[in-house]
């Protein structure tokens, strides 16, 4: 009886407390249940080894220092496969050649579910960018493929180059900048141009606002916003407001197009002409804008940095582009020389894709050394085995790209930027810069064209090098920070690109 009275009193006190107290108690109880249940969990004979220590201690390192955390996990367990808990989610980390091959080819490992839970940096709107039906996902993939058809890409090239010219001219004739600011801004603009509409891409203030909002999503992505998105933290509230504003901007642009009745030659028009429902159009633009800008922006920022510190490769790239101009660009018929942007626009798409081995090798090497990806999947099929270790249905599986791209057996001196290095042979998935197996990056073709056009404009329109904080030539080049899971960015203000315009009119 005393116990019953005590429980009744406790219940009454709990129900009469304010929301904040109730919420705090609920969270504490929730965490206590997790701690209690995890304490009694035992690994089976065929289960991956578990990380030592309390599972709650893995949360912050996984999101904040992922590269170091995963390397520590392999070292602490002494295994090529290990597991840990993110609250109630089982996460299994795999490495090695055979595990990599199984990871990229297993039918039950789903990319969408894995990325949605473990990433959290895409604006999530139910039915628009999350909880999508299979039919809608397939439709978005088909539309992205349409954007990258020959005719569409060919029509985009002059606009990408014109955007590049306008932004590069705003830099002035000389100076210095952080590539993760200026180059990233440039890539964001041309991604907006490529994947949205003229109503947005022709408005610099609106593009700048969108970039600020997407930056808010990035900085607001915390362990709490990913694992307990219902928890009303300040970061989550900021993310919600940023998502709403992004949604409103995109919807307003769509409404303006439909009301005007004026057709434009852009991605939005392609989506509308195809008769896609509005949710698909909005989801396509909201999700792919940031996915494309992040990956391509990171690659472009590092590419300019790395060739700035390796003038021999910068020179090779310039020579290759000049050769294309000599072959395809029409000589000016007037006394005034054509702009670099217009001359580059006369080079056909097929030449950019098949006659640029130097640019191809530079892009490949940059994505190898400076794309801090961790591929994420969830096993939606039956349980499977990787290296004789069980992957239960419902478990999350991740593969760090550093396992292959920084492997000294495949890439001797792996941190060295060497576009001339030989590619690994007879090694399954020896390079996964654009994904692998059944999950290749669907925007690869567009991204490569964007990178080549921006690089061509920059190496012919400017001379550049790497300097330190004091403005002196840098003795050592910045090293990609793989713990920065979005940009691989080194410490801010640790280096700059020093640039000076050439005599070539942009």
Give the residue ranges of the annotated binding site for heme: 441
The string over 134-150, giving b where at least 16 C-beta atoms fall within 10 Å of a residue's C-beta and e elsewhere, is eebeebbeebbeebbee
**Which pair of structure tokens corresponds to residue 65?**
């220092």
Closest C-alpha among 422, 314, 304 to residue 366? 304
Q: Binding site residues, as ranges?
A: 441
Q: Do 101 and 70 touch, CB atoms closer than 8 A?
A: no
First to last CA, the chain: 87
DSSP conformational letter for 374: E
Q: Helix, strand, coil proportions of the chain in percent (round to 5)? A: 55, 10, 35
Show Cβ contacts of residue 410 under 8 Å, excluding neighbours closer than 6 positions.
Answer: 404, 424, 427, 430
Q: How far is CA 497 from CA 327, 365, 390, 416, 494, in A?
A: 31, 20, 48, 19, 11
Count Cβ atoms within 10 A of the Cβ of residue 324 and give its class: 0-12 exposed, 13-18 middle, 19 or more buried: buried
Closest CA to 499 of 466, 450, 454: 466
Cα(265)–Cα(33) distance, integer angstroms: 56
Provide the token pair at 21: 């107290």
Q: Which secondary-structure segment (H or E) carries 238?
A: helix 234-260
């Amino acid at each position: 009886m005393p116990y019953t009275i005590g429980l009744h009193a406790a219940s009454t006190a709990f129900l009469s407390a304010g929301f904040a107290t109730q919420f705090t108690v609920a969270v504490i109880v929730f965490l206590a249940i997790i701690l209690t249940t995890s304490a009694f969990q035992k690994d089976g004979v065929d289960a991956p080894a578990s990380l030592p220590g309390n599972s709650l201690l893995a949360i912050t390192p996984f999101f904040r220092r992922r590269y170091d955390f995963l390397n520590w996990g392999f070292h602490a367990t002494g295994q090529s496969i290990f597991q840990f808990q993110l609250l109630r989610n089982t996460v299994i980390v795999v490495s090695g050649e055979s595990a990599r091959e199984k990871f990229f080819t297993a039918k039950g490992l789903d990319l969408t579910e894995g990325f949605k839970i473990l990433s959290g940096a895409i604006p999530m709107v139910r039915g628009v960018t999350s909880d999508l039906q299979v039919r809608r996902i397939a439709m978005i993939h088909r539309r992205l493929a349409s954007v990258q058809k020959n005719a569409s890409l060919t029509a985009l090239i002059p606009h990408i180059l014109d955007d590049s010219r306008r932004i590069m001219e705003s830099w002035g004739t000389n100076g210095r900048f952080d590539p993760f600011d200026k180059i990233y801004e440039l890539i964001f603009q041309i991604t907006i141009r490529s994947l949205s509409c003229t109503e947005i891409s022709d408005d610099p203030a609106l593009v700048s606002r969108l970039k600020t909002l997407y930056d808010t999503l990035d900085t607001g992505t915390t362990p709490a916003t990913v694992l307990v998105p219902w928890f009303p933290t300040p970061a989550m509230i900021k993310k919600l407001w940023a998502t709403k504003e992004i949604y409103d901007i995109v919807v307003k642009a769509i409404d303006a197009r439909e009301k005007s009745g004026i057709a434009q030659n852009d991605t939005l028009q392609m989506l509308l002409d195809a008769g896609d429902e509005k949710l698909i159009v909005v989801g396509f633009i909201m999700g792919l804008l940031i996915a494309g800008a992040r990956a391509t922006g990171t690659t472009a920022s590092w590419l300019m940095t790395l060739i700035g510190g390796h003038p021999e490769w910068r020179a090779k790239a310039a020579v290759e582009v000049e050769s294309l101009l000599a072959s395809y660009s029409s000589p000016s018929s007037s006394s005034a020389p054509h702009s670099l942007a217009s001359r580059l626009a006369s080079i056909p798409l097929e030449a950019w894709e098949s006659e640029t081995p130097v640019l191809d090798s530079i892009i490949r090497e940059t994505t190898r050394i400076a794309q801090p990806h961790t591929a994420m999947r969830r096993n939606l099929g039956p349980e499977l085995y990787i290296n004789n270790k069980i992957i239960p249905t419902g478990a999350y599986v991740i593969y760090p790209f550093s396992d292959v791209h920084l492997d000294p057996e495949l890439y001797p001196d792996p941190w060295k930027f060497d576009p001339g290095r030989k590619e690994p042979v007879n090694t399954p998935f020896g390079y996964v810069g654009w994904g692998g197996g059944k999950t290749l990056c669907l925007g690869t073709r567009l991204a490569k064209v964007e990178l080549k056009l921006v690089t061509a404009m920059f190496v012919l329109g400017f001379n550049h090098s790497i300097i330190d904080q004091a403005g002196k030539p840098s003795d050592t080049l910045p090293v990609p920070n793989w713990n920065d899971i979005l940009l691989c960015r080194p410490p801010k203000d640790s280096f700059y690109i020093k640039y000076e315009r050439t005599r070539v009119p942009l």
